[in-house]
Every structure is written in structure tokens, then in C-alpha cells.
A = this chain, B = another copy of it.
Amino acid sequence: MDEETLKNAAREYQTPLYVYDGDLIVSRYREFAKAVASIGSKSRVFYAVKANSSLAILDLLRREGSSVDCVSGGEIACALKVGFKPHDILFTSNSKTREEIASAVSAGVNITCGNTEELDVVSEVCAEAGESARVSFRVNPDVDAKTHPKIATGLRDTKFGVHFEGDIAFNAYKRASELEGIDVVGLHAHIGSQITDASSFVESCEKLFEFALRLKNELGMQLEFIDVGGGVGIAYKKDDKPLSPEEYAKALEPAVKAGVESLGYEPTLYFEPGRYIVGPAGVLLCSVNSVKETPSKKFVNVDAGFNTLTRPAMYDAYHRATVLGKKGESETYDIAGNVCESGDILARDRALPKVVRDDIIIFHDAGAYGMSMASEYNMRALPAEVLVKDGVTHLIRERGTQEDLYRKQKTI
């Protein structure tokens, strides 16, 4: 997106503002889908809604042929609202309420169970409703994804998935195959997010195929799909070297080919990219309220905070920051958010051109886990979102208002 577009968007819709590049979202989706198709097996892409659950973005991806991976009843509701078919929706969460499960069963969504008790609830719900459910399990592959501990989801001690160890996963499949109303359709692992090392993906994929072979040999089970999850990282820093979808696909290819050959049938491969598709396609624009010099630092105080962009405070995450319409690196600043906590520093020790009040700071690569994690903490209304597509800037979410802050509340 060129600077003129961003300037106009900030002028028209004010800041803080999330701006997404719809053309880039589409091209990244296509690049990813093409790369995983090149592995040679049947493949489907399930966009991970939690990365950015904007209806407009979901709709854009639906029109591209994407399916979706949802982690809650709310995400499923959003997906259905924009027109995804239930069979194109996966419901994968470590902790689902009975109501969420009942809605998913009645809609006909694919349910990925995270433990055997959840399977029991699915089965109970099916019995009550006289329906059946398409079920898979998330397994815990005990693979180290070498990413931030808070988003490494495939390790032995995490809350995710049924373990191979102690035959927990095997017994879960066995039990599922015996239960009324349960159609066992797939097998899933997801080892984490923002991963830049292909070997962890390969290791997880090999374990999935090995396990599918055991399910075939010992239970006579043939799976419709193997879901290898998401987690392909992006470049947040200039010198980051993330995996390209092509490298990712190439790395998986031998494991898939060997797996399919030993399996004797070809399950469809499911992929769940989220950050990869939308991360680099979004920026957060915020305005400079004041610039302040202290004896030890210079601070740029902006009109956004960790309620707007949570990743720096939550994960010590790095987002590139630039000044709209300015070049050079003449000063070093901390960019301070407006939340009343010391931890609310959006960027530390950044070389920027001289910043003055009313300048606009661009936080890059904020398309994923930006708006989706935003809150109204400190009673600041949620930001607006715009989507730029084919040269046109569309408001896709109106800015929150002060009335929103006390909606549904009453005094006694």
C-alpha cells in the first residue's frame, strides 16, 4: 500500500487504524495454496480465523476457495455468516463448551477433539439430537517447534492434543470408532505459531503418517484427511529469514510421499495457515500525541497501546515501525503506548527520522494477532479497520464509540 493511501485512510477514518492490503492477502493465499498443492497429494487450505477474524477478510478468502479453521463457536458463527459451508469449517479448540459442541454438531461442522472426554460430549450431543458428527483428534506429537514458549503448542507438557505416549491417542481413536454417531474422518497436529524451522514440521508430519498407518493396521481405519496444522512464520525483522511456502512444501514433500506410499491410500492434506496469509498484509497506523525527552531516553507517545496491539507486551514481539512520509534515522526513540503500565512500550530503541506531534507511526506486519487480540482496557474504544482492494479503500469495521464502553451495563 502506498503512503498516499495510508495518509488518506488516516485522514478519513482517524487513528488508531488497522489497514489491510486485500490484494496482498489474496496473493499470499494463492501462493500458499499453490505451494502445498505442488506436494502432489490432494490438499486443502483452512485459513486460521483467530489470526484475523474480520468478516471482510474471511469473505475475501472464501471467494478464493479457502476453507476455515475455527477455535470457538463465535468464529464458527462468523464463518457461517460470510457463507462458508459447514463441511469447509474445522472446529479445533482445547476446551469446548457443550453449547459450542451442540451448535457445531447441528451445523455439521468438522470437530477436532482435544481429549477423550470431549469425544464423550460429542457423542452424547449426537445421541440427544439424533445426528452424527465428523470427528478427528488433535494429537500431541511432542515436537519442539523452536518458537516463543507461549505459542509452542506441540510440546509434551502443553494442554493440546492427545498423546501418542501410553496409547492415549490410539485408545481415543479406538473408542471413537466404536461410538454411535461418530464418523472418524481425520487426524490433526499443530505444533505452534511463527515457526521458521522446517525440520519441526517434517518431524510432526512423519509422526502423523506413522500413526495413520497404525490406525489402518490395527483398527482398519482409513482417514479422509491428515491435517498438518499451521505455523509458517513471517519476517518481522528486516533480516528474518522465514520459510517460504515453496520451501515449506518442499521440506514436507518427502515425508508426505513416503507416508502415502506406506499407507497405501491418499488422505487429503489439510493446512491451517493464519499469520502467513494476513500478517504482512496489515499495518497499524497511530498518531503521535507528544514527544518527550527524559535523561535516559526519548519517548514517542502514541494514541494506541497494548489494548490495540498486544503482541509487544504479551510476547516481547517486534514490529517494524516507520514514520509515514518521513525517511532517515536521525534519532533513537521508544514508542510508548497509551496504556497506564510500564510494560506498554510498543517498540524499543528504534532509529527513526525526527518525530513530532501529529506524525503518523506505521507498525508493520500487524495483520495477524493485531485487531483479533485488541481490547477496551483503559476504556479506550476499539479501533476501526479498513481494507484496500483493487485501489479502493473500504471501511470494514467502524471505530468503537464511548457508548460502546458501557454498553450492556447498568448501575444498581
Contact indicator A334/B405 (Cβ below 8 Å): no
A169 to B276, CA, bound (A): 47
Interface residues of A in 253-309 (CB under 8 A from B): 287, 289-297, 299, 301-303, 305
Binds B, one of A77-85, A200-208, A219-227, A234-242: A77-85
Contact indicator A377/B373 (Cβ below 8 Å): yes
Contact indicator B94/A50 (Cβ below 8 Å): no
Write the chain B residue with the least CB distance to A343: B150
Interface residues of A in 140-181 (CB under 8 A from B): 140, 149-153, 155-160, 163, 165-166, 168
Interface residues of A in 106-135 (CB under 8 A from B): 114-118, 121
Binds B, one of A4-12, A27-35, A318-326, A395-403: A395-403
Contact indicator A397/B408 (Cβ below 8 Å): yes
Q: How large is the interface on A (under 10, 10 to 19, 20 to 34, 35 or more residues)?
A: 35 or more
A54 at interface, CB cutoff 8 A: yes
List the B side residues contacting A22 at CB < 8 Å. Answer: 412
A168 to B294, CA, bound (A): 8
Q: How far is the CB of A247 from chain B (nearest CB, A)?
A: 25
A387 to B409, CA, bound (A): 11
Contact indicator A292/B117 (Cβ below 8 Å): yes
Contact indicator B378/A313 (Cβ below 8 Å): no
A53 at interface, CB cutoff 8 A: yes
A117 to B345, CA, bound (A): 19
Write the chain B residue with the least CB distance to A154: B342
A214 at interface, CB cutoff 8 A: no
Interface residues of A in 373-411 (CB under 8 A from B): 373-381, 385, 387, 389, 394-400, 402, 405-406, 408-411
A14 to B50, CA, bound (A): 24
Contact indicator A295/B55 (Cβ below 8 Å): no
A337 at interface, CB cutoff 8 A: yes
Q: A379-B49, A379-B75 are in contact. Are A409 and B55 (CB under 8 A)?
A: yes
Contact indicator A50/B410 (Cβ below 8 Å): no
A95 at interface, CB cutoff 8 A: yes
Closest 10 CB pairs of A and B: A150-B343, A74-B379, A95-B301, A375-B375, A115-B292, A95-B338, A117-B290, A159-B336, A398-B408, A59-B411
- Chosen A-B contacts, 23 in total, with CB atoms closer than 8 Å, are A50-B377, A53-B379, A55-B406, A71-B340, A77-B406, A93-B340, A95-B303, A96-B289, A97-B303, A115-B290, A115-B301, A116-B292, A117-B290, A121-B289, A150-B342, A157-B297, A159-B301, A159-B334, A313-B314, A372-B379, A374-B375, A387-B412, A396-B410
